[in-house]
Structure 1
Amino acid sequence: MVDTALCLEALSALSGCSVQQSGGASQLGPQDFVNIVALRQFYKREGLEQLEYPSLGSMSLRDDAVDRDMDDLYSAPPALTAPPPAPESRPVARVNPDDFFDRKFDYDFTNIKDGERRFVRGDEPYFRPCGWRRVALNVSGKYDDGSDVWLGTGSQAWPVSYQGLHMDGSLILTLRKGSKEEGGLLDEAAQSLMDTTDFGRGIYSTPDVLLAEKHCKTFKSSSNGKTYKVLLQNRISPSRRKVCERDRVWVVYVPQDHSQIQTRALVQESVRPYGLLLKEA
């Protein structure tokens, strides 16, 4: 089982908050963390310096500059994690591990190799996170529709996507620059996305865990001194996501006229987390 302290460090690295253990009710739930990760990336691309989030207040987006040089959209994420923001600049989020995680569904993929085995979620290929350890999030029965069908394996389930801290609109630009190495030129659909004036206005993720790993967050644990990679494993609404680059990049578009409240609601309706993934770097 992954140590709880390490899990909270991973959540801190992803969110930009100082996530601390609480014995009371959790201040934030799993959905809040995928919201924050997605919104931080989106609003950085929009040129904002602050993100307002319920119960946390104003969150600085300028601190993210230590993670990635946003002036160079073609560069890969840094191999090593830069120093975290000063503690006073990071809002505190308190989490009760007992109601935030669902540890009976944890799964260790560290030594698993699927090879030619194929898996499906929502009638779409599911590429399991081989090489990673998954800490399950407590999301069963947490949504208004009262059903966990989205979390299942049947045709009505939502497909699986992976969310990394550096997955924003520049991801397709990175693929475009390296398209030959990625297996050929972009298809017409992806090309049309790059030609539109709204290119980049959206929440990005991928069904390909190998691609997500290239754009993931890394952090050095203060509890054991090791460096880890971290991702969120999500389900994404098949009706809201758009497919680009041969099913390797998915985007949920955000209309130009959406307010921050509407944008947060759109993320919450479109992307649902169910696993925190950790891997030694």
Structure 2
Amino acid sequence: MPDTQLSLEALSALSGCNVEATSGASQLTPQDFVNIVALKEFYKQEGFKTLEYPSLGTLSLQDTDDQDLYSAPQALAEGPSTAGPEQSLRTTVKINLQDFFHPEFNYDFTNVKDGDKKFLRGDEPYIRPCGWTRAALRVVQKYDGGDKWLGTGKDAWPVSYQGRNMDGSLGIIVAHGGSPDSEPQFLEAAAASIVNPEIRGRGVYSTPDIKVAEKYCRQFKSKVDGKTYKVVLQNRINPGKRTKCQREDMWLVYIPENSTEILTRATVQESIRPYGLLLKTV
């Protein structure tokens, strides 16, 4: 199972914040983390430079891929920060490990091979994250309406995966199947999006296929063991809030034009719920 410090580094990589442990109350819940990951990519797509988030204030949307910023401070306990100069520029987030993680539901898929086996969640195919290790998030009994969304029956929500780079910047392409390499189809899709704003692909993207999510995921070099890891969020998506794109391996939660920040955040929160932090060595 993932080392605790390694999990904090992974959360830092996803959120772009310095995530540290605390013995006090957590500043953010697992739901807040999926909100931040989704909203950061959406607002970058919209051309914004910052995101305002409750309890954290202003978060930068600047892409820092070229900087080695995706490791949390060394110490797990509260105390003086050991972060470098670049890390000190990022927002620090403190979480209570017992409140945030749920080790009882950790699962090691590293050596699992499903082959032709079929799995369902909400009567829809579930592609298990074979090759990855899951640190379970504490989300049981955290939502109104009970935990059916998290189950395996027909009332469960389907599984989706989200990496921090799934920013929807290719919204028209993803939603309509066109690409710059197939210019007529791409231009036709672009023209259609101007006529009908509802099909612009404006919103938050995720995928039911872990292999697709891996292509878009964040990577970070761990200070725990010096290895480089990939990190992805494992979520459940509200089938009533999801739009299936022309590409079957992409799903969209549409954000209406002129939505306020509060409404945008509420749309994400009603649509996507996290339950696992997935890690894989490169």
**TM-score, structure 1 as length reference:** 0.86
Tell me: CA distance 1:194–1:59, structure 2 relative to 1, closer, same or farther (3 Å): farther
Taking only the aligned residue pairs, the percentage that are identical comes to: 58
Q: Which amino acid aligns with 1:136?
A: A
Q: Is the 8 A contact 1:160 1:233 kept in 2?
A: yes
Identify the residue that residue 112 of structure 2 maps to in structure 1. 112
Q: Distance in 2 between matches of 1:137 and 1:194?
A: 42
Tell me: CA distance 1:139–1:193, structure 2 relative to 1, closer, same or farther (3 Å): farther
Aligned partner of residue 196 in structure 1, secondary structure: helix
Identify the residue that residue 257 of structure 1 maps to in structure 2. 258
Q: Is the 8 A contact 1:60 1:89 kept in 2?
A: no
- The CA deviation at 1:200 is 3.9
- Per-residue CA deviation, residues 12-59 of structure 1 (Å, 9 max, x unaligned), is 000011000001111111000000000000000111111001111100
1:195 to 185, 192, 197: 192
Q: Distance in 2 between matches of 1:51 and 1:259?
A: 12
- Per-residue CA deviation, residues 216-268 of structure 1 (Å, 9 max, x unaligned), is 00001112111000000000000000001342100000011211111011100
**TM-score, structure 2 as length reference:** 0.86
**Number of residues paired by the alignment?**
258
Q: Could you list the runs of 5+ residues in structure 1 that have no partner in the other structure?
A: 68-80, 181-185
Tell me: CA distance 1:179–1:132, structure 2 relative to 1, closer, same or farther (3 Å): farther
Q: Which amino acid aligns with 1:196?
A: S
Q: Distance in 1 between matches of 2:205 and 2:139?
A: 21
Q: Is the 8 A contact 1:122 1:157 kept in 2?
A: yes
Q: Is the 8 A contact 1:167 1:204 kept in 2?
A: yes
Structure ID, larger Rg: 2
- Per-residue CA deviation, residues 151-178 of structure 1 (Å, 9 max, x unaligned), is 0001110000000111122355377449
Identify the residue that residue 162 of structure 1 maps to in structure 2. 161
Q: Which amino acid aligns with 1:270?
A: S
Q: Distance in 2 between matches of 1:87 and 1:246?
A: 38
Q: Does 1:9 align with 2:6?
A: no
Q: Is the 8 A contact 2:178 2:189 kept in 1?
A: no
Q: Is the 8 A contact 1:102 1:138 kept in 2?
A: yes
Q: Which amino acid aligns with 2:193?
A: T
Q: Distance in 2 between matches of 1:170 and 1:211?
A: 16
- The CA deviation at 1:88 is 3.0
Q: Distance in 1 between matches of 2:190 and 2:279?
A: 32
Q: Distance in 2 between matches of 1:194 and 1:203?
A: 21
Aligned partner of residue 257 in structure 2, secondary structure: coil
Tell me: CA distance 1:110–1:16, structure 2 relative to 1, closer, same or farther (3 Å): same
1:83 to 54, 59, 68: 68
Q: Is the 8 A contact 1:218 1:228 kept in 2?
A: yes
1:182-221 → structure 2 map (5 Å cutoff): 195-197=192-194, 198=197, 199-221=200-222
Tell me: CA distance 1:135–1:169, structure 2 relative to 1, closer, same or farther (3 Å): same
Q: Which amino acid aligns with 1:269?
A: E
Q: Which amino acid aligns with 1:129?
A: P
Identify the residue that residue 82 of structure 2 maps to in structure 1. none
Q: Which amino acid aligns with 2:24?
A: G
Tell me: CA distance 1:249–1:194, structure 2 relative to 1, closer, same or farther (3 Å): farther
Identify the residue that residue 74 of structure 2 maps to in structure 1. none
Aligned partner of residue 37 in structure 2, secondary structure: helix
Q: Distance in 1 between matches of 2:167 and 2:58?
A: 21
1:117-136 → structure 2 map (5 Å cutoff): 117-136=117-136
- The CA deviation at 1:193 is 8.3
Q: Which amino acid aligns with 1:148?
A: D
Aligned CA-pair RMSD: 2.3
Tell me: CA distance 1:134–1:171, structure 2 relative to 1, closer, same or farther (3 Å): farther
- Per-residue CA deviation, residues 77-114 of structure 1 (Å, 9 max, x unaligned), is xxxx6422822321111011111000010000000110
Q: Is the 8 A contact 2:10 2:231 kept in 1?
A: yes
Aligned partner of residue 113 in structure 1, secondary structure: coil
Aligned partner of residue 5 in structure 2, secondary structure: helix
1:86-97 → structure 2 map (5 Å cutoff): 86-97=86-97
Q: Distance in 2 between matches of 1:33 and 1:266?
A: 15
Q: Which amino acid aligns with 2:161?
A: Y
Q: Distance in 2 between matches of 1:153 and 1:171?
A: 32
